[in-house]
């Protein structure tokens, strides 16, 4: 919403400075977006008399001018404009002036050997248009020495405010003035305009045919003015319209635009001679269209409310008029329309048709219903004053909606919600200046809302009115009392804490945290177990961001490839974030995943004097996964690691982490070659993914005391065993069998060698383990050690078919 300072002062009697007005606007919720003050920007530019213009001694196209700027001795200026001539009036800028059109600051210079102490300017150089034909050529009576902006009438600053959608009333300069008046910086001018006494009835009948939903157009008023002369509108009106960015067209059209901004009352004018028969307000039929005043043709449908005559649709109600019945210079009889339209329907229609007009802007926010007839009268008066003519009486179809709303308001509500103590007198004055009626005198009053404030519905709205005018800066901050003064527990849930810790743990392993999109392309979603219809976006912003991600891995893999394409191939990335299995809240899981590419190992990547890093393998991903579980304090005693994983992992080089077969919590491994191909990935990639919300919760313990530490004074002994087992036997099974053989004495088992080849039968492998025995009561005898060894060998043989390597 734009307006000029002088226009505002038509409605507000004030001595306040522009700065005060701007600050006040922002302070009361009408945020000033920009102030364009050409007068200030162009202050150094003055009307000047060109005394002489002689050819430049050293340049054919330049002239040396002597300029009288009204303040003393003539000033020498070198000028290249073809129209520079002695005796002309133009605009002069002295050295030191900023030239907005050229973005330079003038200095005293020497041009081809002749000194130049300023510049004669074109309109373009002043930023006032795009004429490049030469310097400004002002009339002979332009007063030498007068500041040019003053002379040119540019001394009216333009203020632009950012209007929140609830403040329909301030889409009007009158409404803005009313708000400002409530702050006390001025007084609202309430100019009374007597109703227009038209002669005779309006001869164009109006019918509203919206039987199913009369609220679409509650009221429609029309008046005919005969015998008008539709020339250009007055210069002052044109200047104001131009200042706020509108193009003057002709008096009748300009008056409707002027009323739209001046009073927030959009109107439409029809050339009465181009209207056939009466006007009907109805829904458009399918297939109807309108060539509108903006030159575009709009396809209408049954949800569009239109104004039609016998020729068909003439105007889209409340949005834009049609070209056919528009007013032109030839118009002699004009129909002025003032109506009310349904805000929701206007918004919907405007969006569907993609048309933005000043009328739509106001009707979709809500136009003052009580101002339909006064608005029509005021417009009529402007038409008659400007264009002459004789008005008829108004035809009114429909009924004025009842907008009266009374709010039962305890004054204490302001203190309760805003935490500030204001006097009742102040609050009452504020509301009344804003147009509310306050009835009653006690602690509770009845407040009648004005017709132009559909946004004020209840007590909280009145509190806002009071405090925004009082100023939010008057509310002193007060400490918020804690609600949990007696609480000592953590503020985060276990899962929240684990989510945070997971990030720190993974970053500590040299991984970089990525935050990738929650949506992936459909093919990727399908490949990673998702892609269901319930998680596909109906309106994705791009084809590759179409489905909610079922896994963090595809996003990380693609990110790795993008980095590789940039020349960073050895990347290690992780993400902790949400994944989606269904569209239900419980279908959203929180996961941690990491990928490693090339040689990006935990210990370092690439070549190094201490040893070159090998290409990553599944164990690198396994290490990340287990490090994460350990960092999260997960008891891994009952964690099982079994071969295989989801389909996107290499079937032979992947594993699943589970707490029992029905409770998998994650997986790790090398990316399946088919998935690599589908995602167009190069190189070697490994990944792990863990569902943080599937991990077992810590057991509640009544005490935080750790178990007693029992240190043995007895030396542990170690025994090595080399088992020959079938190739498919898992080392984990060998370890578990050995562990199970002797629960009391075995303190640890390490696999120190895995071998296949010469000396081992085809289809078998050797797994060498070191078993550490910790004596408990006394040193073990050789016989006892032998007995334990025999039990281990027997148990491993029984469980895995192993034999001791010869």
Subset of 476-535 contacting another protein (CB under 8 A): 476-480, 482-484, 491-493, 496, 500, 503-519, 533-535
Contacts of 198 (CB under 8 A, 6+ apart): 223, 380, 391, 392, 393, 394
Torsion of CA 139, 142, 147, 150, to 10 degrees: -80
- Annotate each residue in 719-758 with x if it binds another protein (CB under 8 A) or - if it does not, as one string: ----------------------------------------
Chain mean position to CA 41: 33
Residues 432 to 451 in contact with another protein, rule: CB under 8 A: none
Q: Any binding-site annotation on 524? A: no
Query: What residues from 88 to 147 belong to the interface with another protein (CB under 8 A)?
Result: none
Q: With respect to another protein, which residue has the nearer C-beta, 177 or 252?
A: 177
Is 164 one of the binding residues for another protein (CB under 8 A)? Answer: yes
- If one asks whether residue 303 binds another protein (CB under 8 A), the answer comes out as no
Of the pair 468, 672, the CB lying nearest another protein is at 468
Give the Å distances, CA to CA, from 755 to 333, 622, 731, 762. 105, 21, 12, 12
Among positions 460, 787, 790, 804, the unique one binding another protein when judged by CB under 8 A? 460
Tokens of 619: 């164990």
Q: How far apart are CA 553 and CA 29, in angstroms?
A: 47
Residue 420, CA distances (Å) to 426, 465, 471, 619, 794 in order: 13, 14, 11, 64, 84
Tell me which stretch binds another protein (CB under 8 A): 269-277, 329-337, 411-419, 718-726: 411-419
419 counts as binding another protein under rule CB under 8 A: yes
By C-beta, is 461 or 784 nearer to another protein? Answer: 461
Nearer to another protein, 578 or 638 (CB): 578
Minimum CB distance to another protein smaller for 465 or for 670:
465
In whole angstroms, what is the distance from residue 32 CA to residue 157 CA? 13
Residue 18 interacts with another protein (CB under 8 A): yes or no: no
Q: Is 58 in the site for another protein (CB under 8 A)?
A: no
Q: Helix, strand or coil for residue 50? A: strand
Selected from 195, 205, 603, 696, the binder of another protein by CB under 8 A is 603
Q: Which is nearer to another protein, 508 or 636 (CB)?
A: 508
Interface residues for another protein in 229-258 (CB under 8 A)?
none
Q: How far apart are CA 387 and CA 380, in angstroms?
A: 10
* Site mask for another protein (CB under 8 A), range 535-554, x = bound: xxxxxxxx--x--x------
Q: Tell which positions 604-663 bind another protein, by CB under 8 A.
A: 604, 608-610
Q: How far is CA 290 from CA 281, 297, 317, in A?
A: 15, 5, 12
To the nearest whole angstrom, how small is the minimum distance from the Cβ of residue 627 to another protein? 10
d(C-alpha 248, C-alpha 237), whole Å: 9
To the question of whether residue 455 is assigned a binding role by annotation, the answer is: yes
Closer to another protein by Cβ: residue 59 or 631: 631
Spatial separation of the C-alpha atoms in residues 805 and 756, rounded to whole Å: 12
- When binding is defined by CB under 8 A, the residue of 344, 444, 682, 744 that contacts another protein is 344
CB of 196 to another protein, least distance (A): 36
Within residues 259-298, the interface with another protein by CB under 8 A covers: none
- Burial class (CB within 10 angstroms; exposed 0-12, middle 13-18, buried 19+) of 778: exposed
570 is in an annotated binding site: no
Is 461 marked as a binding-site residue? yes
CA distance 628 to 614: 22
Cβ neighbours of 221 (radius 10 Å): 23
User: CB under 8 Å, gap of 24 or more: what pairs does 101-104 form?
Assistant: 101/125, 101/126, 101/127
Would you list which residues are annotated within the binding site for Mg(2+)?
455, 461, 464-465
Annotated binding site: 455, 461, 464-465
């Amino acid at each position: 919403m734009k307006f000029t300072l002088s226009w505002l002062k038509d409605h507000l009697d004030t001595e306040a400075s522009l700065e005060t007005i701007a600050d006040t606007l922002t302070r009361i919720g009408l945020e000033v977006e920009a102030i364009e003050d050409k007068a200030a920007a162009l202050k150094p530019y003055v009307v000047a008399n060109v005394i002489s213009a002689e050819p430049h001694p050293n340049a054919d196209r330049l002239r040396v001018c002597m300029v009288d700027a009204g303040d003393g001795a003539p000033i020498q200026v070198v000028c290249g404009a073809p129209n520079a001539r002695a005796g002309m009036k133009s605009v002069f800028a002295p050295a030191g002036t900023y030239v907005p059109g050229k973005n330079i600051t003038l200095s005293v210079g020497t041009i081809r050997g002749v000194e130049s102490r300023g510049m004669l300017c074109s309109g373009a150089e002043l930023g006032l248009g795009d004429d490049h034909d030469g310097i400004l050529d002002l009339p002979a009576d332009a007063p030498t020495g007068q500041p040019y902006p003053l002379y040119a009438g540019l001394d009216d600053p333009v203020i632009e405010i950012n209007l929140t959608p609830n403040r329909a009333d301030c889409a009007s300069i009158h409404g803005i003035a009313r708000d400002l008046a409530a702050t006390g910086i001025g007084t609202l001018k309430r100019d009374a305009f007597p109703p227009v006494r038209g002669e005779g009835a309006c001869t164009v009948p109006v019918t509203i045919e919206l039987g199913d939903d009369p609220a679409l157009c509650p009221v429609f008023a029309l008046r005919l003015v005969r015998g008008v002369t539709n020339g250009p509108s007055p210069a002052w009106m044109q200047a104001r319209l131009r200042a706020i960015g509108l193009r003057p067209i002709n008096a009748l059209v300009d008056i409707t635009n002027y009323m739209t901004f001046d009073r927030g009352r959009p109107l439409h004018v029809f050339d009465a001679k181009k209207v056939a028969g009466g006007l009907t307000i109805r829904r458009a039929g399918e297939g109807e269209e309108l060539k509108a005043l903006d030159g575009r043709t709009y396809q209408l449908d049954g949800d569009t409310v239109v104004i039609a005559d016998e020729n068909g649709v003439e105007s889209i109600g409340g949005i834009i008029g049609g070209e056919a019945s528009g007013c032109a210079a030839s118009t002699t009889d004009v129909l002025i329309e003032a109506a009310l339209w349904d805000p929701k329907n206007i918004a919907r229609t405007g969006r569907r048709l993609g048309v933005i007009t000043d009328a739509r802007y106001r009707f979709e926010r809500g136009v003052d219903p009580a101002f339909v007839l006064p608005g029509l009268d005021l417009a009529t008066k402007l038409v008659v004053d400007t264009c002459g003519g004789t008005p008829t009486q108004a035809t009114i179809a429909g009924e004025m909606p009842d907008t009266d709303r009374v709010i039962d308001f305890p004054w204490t509500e302001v203190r309760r919600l805003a935490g500030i103590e204001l006097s009742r007198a102040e609050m009452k004055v504020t509301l009344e200046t804003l147009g509310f009626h306050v009835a009653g005198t006690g602690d509770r009053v009845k407040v009648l809302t004005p017709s132009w404030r559909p946004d004020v519905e209840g007590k909280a709205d009145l509190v806002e009115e009071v405090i925004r005018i009082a100023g939010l800066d008057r509310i002193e901050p007060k400490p918020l009392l804690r609600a949990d003064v007696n609480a000592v527990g953590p503020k985060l849930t276990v899962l929240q804490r684990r989510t945070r810790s997971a990030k720190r743990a993974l970053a500590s392993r040299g991984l970089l945290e990525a935050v990738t999109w929650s949506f992936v392309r459909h093919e990727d979603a399908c490949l990673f177990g998702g892609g269901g219809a319930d998680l596909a976006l109906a309106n994705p912003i791009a084809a590759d961001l179409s489905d909610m991600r079922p896994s963090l891995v595809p996003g990380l893999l693609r990110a790795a490839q993008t980095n590789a394409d940039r020349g960073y191939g050895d990347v290690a990335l992780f993400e902790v974030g949400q994944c989606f299995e269904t569209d239900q809240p419980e279908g959203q899981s929180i996961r941690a995943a990491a990928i490693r590419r090339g040689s990006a190992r935990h210990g370092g990547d690439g070549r190094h004097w201490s040893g070159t890093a090998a290409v990553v393998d599944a164990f690198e991903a396994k290490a990340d996964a287990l490090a994460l579980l350990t960092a999260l304090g997960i008891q891994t005693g009952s964690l099982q690691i079994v071969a295989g994983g989801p389909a996107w992992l290499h079937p032979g080089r992947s594993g699943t982490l589970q707490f029992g077969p029905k409770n998998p919590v994650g997986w790790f491994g090398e990316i399946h070659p088919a998935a690599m191909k589908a995602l167009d990935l190069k190189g070697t990639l490994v990944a792990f993914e863990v569902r943080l919300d599937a991990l077992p919760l810590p057991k509640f313990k009544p005490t935080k005391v750790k178990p007693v530490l029992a240190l043995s004074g007895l030396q542990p002994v170690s025994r090595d065993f080399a088992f020959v087992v079938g190739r498919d036997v898992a080392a984990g099974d060998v370890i578990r069998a050995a562990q199970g053989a002797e629960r009391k004495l075995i303190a640890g088992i390490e696999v120190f060698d895995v071998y296949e080849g010469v000396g081992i039968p085809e289809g078998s492998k050797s797994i060498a383990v070191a078993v550490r025995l910790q004596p408990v009561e006394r040193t073990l005898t050789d016989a006892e050690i032998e007995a334990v060894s025999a039990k281990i060998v027997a148990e491993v043989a029984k469980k895995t078919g192993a034999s001791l390597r010869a």
